[in-house]
Every structure is written in structure tokens, then in C-alpha cells.
Chains A and B, each alone.
Chain A
Amino acid sequence: MSNLAYIVAAYGITLGSLAVYGFLLWSQLRQAERDVAALSGGEGEGYGHQ
């Protein structure tokens, strides 16, 4: 492996993992907001998705 490949691998894995985790948080947050809105009926307005 060349030095460039090591650099690309390190940055790619780190930034890619952070992006995937950020996406997972975003989807979990949306799901949690939907669940609370469904359970609380009309009161769930304040918990709507972002």
C-alpha cells in the first residue's frame, strides 16, 4: 500500500463512520418524535420531525 492509500483509508473510515452515525441519529430522532407524537395525539405538535 502506498502512503496515499493509508491516508485515504484513515480519513475515509473515520469521516464515513461519523457520517453514518450522524444519519443513524437523525433517523432515530425522527422515529422517536413520531412515536411520541402518536402516543400524545394532538399534544405531540412540539415533538414534530425536524
Chain B
Amino acid sequence: MKTAGTMIGRTLANGLGILALLSVLIGLYLAFCYAPPDALQGDVQRIMYIHVPTAWVAFLAFFVVFVASIVYLWTRAPESDRLAAASAEIGVLFTALTLIDGSIWGKPTWGTWWTWDARLTTTAILLVIYVGYLMLRSFVEEPEQRARLAALVGIVGFIDVPIIYMSVLWFRTLHQPPSIQRGGVAMPDEMLLTLLFNFGAYTLVYFFFLVKRVRIESLRAIGDALMAAKVRHE
């Protein structure tokens, strides 16, 4: 039964991976061949189709850390801790990529690679918080203490996410306000469709990575338990 379940899980995970890859390729086609160039920025604005989705995935990843951390503190289920750890690592990757491609976009549009603007600074703080989260996990050896402390950081750290989102509205910044707001959408339909498609594509990439990362954490936990049993037996 275990083998059959594993096979089904693998097939689903690999199917998700293929779907994610196809979606990214279609997203690239839409970004370069379907969406029109921006009237002011020209072609360099096409960086938006990768910058905004990576930022969205980073927020999603840290939201998953937030929820999984609350569930862990509530239930003490190790699966929740493993989910939080996996999602935090992916979130750090996507936050770093958001800062890098945002910086590359900033140079031709703002004339600088970096400025201590509210949106950029709060995003850099987010990266530092979750790098700290991962470092904490690697420093604390006792599993329950590690999970408990990490859950606290995972919950408190998430406070920065709504601050980042609202920073362009609360402060005077170089960064443009959200393109999609309750009041309407500030872009043509072709750009909106391309952006939304890329949101979906990179969300699929996130879930594919998450499934694989959680599986690694689960196997390591099984390995640790088997090793402990072996040592006890000897």
C-alpha cells in the first residue's frame, strides 16, 4: 500500500512539475510576444511579468509559513513544522529574486540599482527576517524547541508582509502603487492577462517545489527515526 501511495504521489508531483514548466514557457511567450510594450518604459517594462509574480509567490510562501506555524503551535504536529520550513526556504529564494529583478528593472527606469525606498527597504527586511528564520532552524538542534522557536519567528515575521504591500500607499516612494486595485486596473487587457497568467505559472512552480521540499523533510525525519531505532537496538 505504501508503494502504491508513493507511486500515486510521485505521479501527481511530476504532473505538477510538467504543468508548472509548460505554464512558465507559455508565460514567457505571452510576456515577449503577446503583451504590448509599455508606452513610457518600452520593452524593459516586460520585467514586470517576472518581478510581480515572484513577489506574489514570496508573500504566498510566507503566508503558508504563518498558517503552518500557528497550526504547529496549536497541534504540535511535526508535519506543520516541516511544511513551514519548506515554504520558508522557497520564500527566501523568491524574495531574493524579487529584489534582484526589481533592482535590474530599477536601473533603467529610476536610474539607480537601489534606493532606501519604503517598499524596497521593507522587502529587504523581509529577506533578513526569513534568512534569520532558516539560520535559527539550523542552529537549534532539539527538534521540538527548534519547531517552537521557528513557529514564533514565522508568525511575527509575517507582520512585514502587509507593511510591504501598504508601503507604497502609506509612504512617498519611488515604487509604483499596485497595478491591480479594488478601484480598477491600470493597464491594458493584454498586459493584465499576461500578468495574471504568470501569477498562475509561478504559483504552480511554488507548489511543485513545496511538494518536493516537504518530501525531503519527511524522508529526513524517517531517516532520523530509523537511525535512532538502530542505535537503540545496538
Instruction: Decide if B76 is an interface residue (CB 8 Å cutoff).
Output: no
Q: How would you classify the secondary structure of chain B's contact residues: helix, strand, loop or mixed?
A: helix
* Contact between chains at A28 and B216 (CB < 8 Å): yes
Q: Contacts A11-B50, A17-B93 given; indicate if A26 touches B222 (C-beta within 8 A).
A: no
Q: Which of B50-95 contact A (CB under 8 A)?
A: 50-51, 54, 93
Instruction: Decide if B44 is an interface residue (CB 8 Å cutoff).
Output: yes
Report which B residues bind A (CB closer than 8 A).
2-3, 5-6, 10, 14, 24, 28, 42-44, 46-47, 50-51, 54, 93, 96-97, 100-101, 104-105, 107-108, 205, 208-209, 212-213, 215-216, 219-220, 222-223, 226-227, 230
Q: List the 3 shortest-distance A-B pairs measured between CB atoms, nearest first.
A: A32-B219, A39-B226, A10-B101
Q: Contacts A3-B43, A10-B50 given; indicate if A36 touches B219 (C-beta within 8 A).
A: yes
Q: How would you classify the secondary structure of chain A's contact residues: helix, strand, loop or mixed?
A: helix
Q: Which of A1-50 contact B (CB under 8 A)?
A: 1, 3-4, 6-7, 9-11, 13-15, 17-18, 21-22, 25-26, 28-29, 32-33, 35-36, 39-40, 45-47, 50
